[in-house]
Amino acid sequence: MKPLLVHWQVKLVALFLAVALWFYTSGQARVEKTVVVKVGDGAVLGLPPEYRISSIAPGEFEIVVDGPMNVLARLEKRGLAPRLEISTTALQANKQVFPITNQVLGLDGDARIQRTTPDTVARDGITVTFGKIAIVDIWVEPPQLIDVPPGIEPSLALEEGQARVEGPLGALDEIDRHGGKVRFQPVSLGRFDTQIEKPETRRIQLTPALPTSLRLAKPAYAQLTLKPLDAPRQLVSLPLHVLVPPDFHRRFQVELGQQQVVMAVRGPRNLMAGLGPDSLTAYVNLRRSFDLNKTEEVAVSLLAPPWVTWEPSAVRVTVSLAAKPSEAAPVAPLQPANTPLQRP
């Protein structure tokens, strides 16, 4: 134990230096790391306000970096921040190419770029195109209507035939080379309430399908009209009810020519698809005076949603005095014809 304590101060300093040297050398060990480089508009510096970026190519690529472990650890933590400084001479050409260097990509001097993916990036560099902002009026093309529900006939009318577009001249020239019209994203009818009874018109804002460097000087609007189509005539068999005063059945009895009636109904196709017999009630209105023991033709009415129409129909009805219990055997009441209804 005594030999260990001889010159212990010197030995402690030596141990400290050995540990520090180990940490230093381990941090200086060179390793390789793959880093994704994303180049957005924010990386471009020095572009005058009257200019706008048309494109950056490539917008994303990978590099394999060789460097000390501690340098690459810092790089992984903070990421890369490319700096693309536009020179005054490049403004005349509306384009500048930046080589793949440590300075451009924001890498420490101790790091070395080994290769890029794709390989062409190392050769061609990063190309930034830009141009002076111009404003032009361009003809527009109506958007496509998608997700059209059955039974609905849509139509769309643009409020203006031209749109005012602003952006770099080069990008505006690109529109001319591809037909010379402003196009819009398709309009989905799935976001609208199409359970309608009559035509409805809505004012909608359109989304332009333009390159990121271009934008509309003011929003574009259109009038969207949704028209429900009429469904073919449907025949529905319904039980027949009677509408009578509360005390009617104590004094009178009713004989109907039929207990079921077939009604021909129509309505918007988009709503008729969900119409069932439970939504309809056929009845005859007997809340009026009748000649006793005389058969009459009485119109059949229908309790139905307001958008349903029906063709006229009639049944034979005979009203007579109710038989006294001592005069005749009891007769089973008509069902559901003897079921009173509330006034519609």
Give the model confidence (pLDDT) of 10-60 as tens digits.
656 666 665 555 555 444 567 888 888 999 999 999 999 889 998 899 999
**Domain range spanning residue 285?**
234-321
Report if residue 220 sits inside a domain: yes
Q: Is residue 238 part of a domain?
A: yes
How much is the average pLDDT of 249-269?
Answer: 89
Same domain, residue pair 256 and 194:
no
**Domain assignment present for 153:** yes
156-160, 176-180, 215-219, 256-260: least confident range: 176-180
Which of residues 174, 200, 228 is at a domain's end?
A: 228
Mean pLDDT of the region 227-231: 88
Q: Of the given ranges (28-32, 200-204, 235-239, 264-268), which has the lowest mean pLDDT?
A: 28-32
Residue 335 lies in a domain: no
Determine the distance from the C-alpha atom of residue 216 to the mean position of all C-alpha atoms in its chain, rounded to a whole number.
21
Pair 33, 110 in one domain? yes
- Put simply, whether the predicted model's pTM sits higher than 0.75 gets the answer no
The residue among 304 and 109 whose pLDDT is bigger is 304
Higher pLDDT, 56 or 328: 56
Domain boundary among 107, 129, 151: 129
Residues 320, 224: Cα–Cα separation, whole Å: 59
Over residues 296-315, the mean pLDDT reads 91
Asked if residue 312 belongs to a domain, the reply is: yes
pLDDT bin (cut points 50, 70, 90) of residue 194 is: confident
Strand pairing of 260-266 and 309-310?
A: antiparallel
Number of domains the chain is built from: 3
Examine residue 16 and state whether it is found in any structural domain, yes or no: no
Residue 331 confidence (pLDDT) above 50: no
Residue holding tokens 């306000």?
49
Cα–Cα distance measured from residue 222 to residue 28, given in angstroms and rounded to the nearest whole number: 64
Domain membership of residue 297 (yes or no) is: yes
Q: Are 207 and 287 in the same domain? A: no
Q: What is the DSSP letter of 147?
A: S
Domain-embedded: residue 317: yes
Last residue within a domain, chosen from 97, 129, 161: 129
Q: Where are the alpha helices (DSSP H) in 155-267?
A: 169-177, 248-251
Give yes or no for a contact between 119 and 187, defined as CB atoms under 8 angstroms apart.
Answer: no
